[in-house]
Amino acid sequence: VDAASAATKHELLEWGGANPLFACLQLDDEIVLKLACGALQNLCQHPAWCSVALANGVHNTLEHLLEHNDMTIVRFASGSLRNMQIGLQRVGQQLPELGSAARQLV
């Protein structure tokens, strides 16, 4: 457990960790997708990560991943979107409207 997880999330963002992580969400490798979605679910508890993810259109990718055959990927993608909604609300932003299927899962 990282007692300074907020600082770690901040450093990871400041040192350019967002784009490589977001790129992993585009891959077909299910192990990489699970790890990337799980990491993003955790990182999106930090509002700055939510804002960067929104600016990069990651919510669209996550919404697409809600249709994945692997239920772990679906769960992590759903959790990431849920955390993005909460984190963005903290800074006065919001996700664009999700499709009806996504709204049911998030």
pLDDT at 4: 84
pLDDT at 35: 98
pLDDT at 81: 95
Mean pLDDT of successive 10-residue stretches along the chain, which has 106 residues: 85 95 97 98 94 95 95 96 93 84 71
pLDDT at 76: 97
* Separation of alpha carbons 77 and 67, rounded Å: 10
The half-sphere exposure of 27 on its side-chain side, counting CA atoms within 13 A, is 14
* Separation of alpha carbons 65 and 77, rounded Å: 6
pTM of the model: 0.89
* Separation of alpha carbons 31 and 25, rounded Å: 11
pLDDT at 5: 86
Q: Which domains does the chain have, with CATH numbers?
A: 5-105 (1.25.10.10)
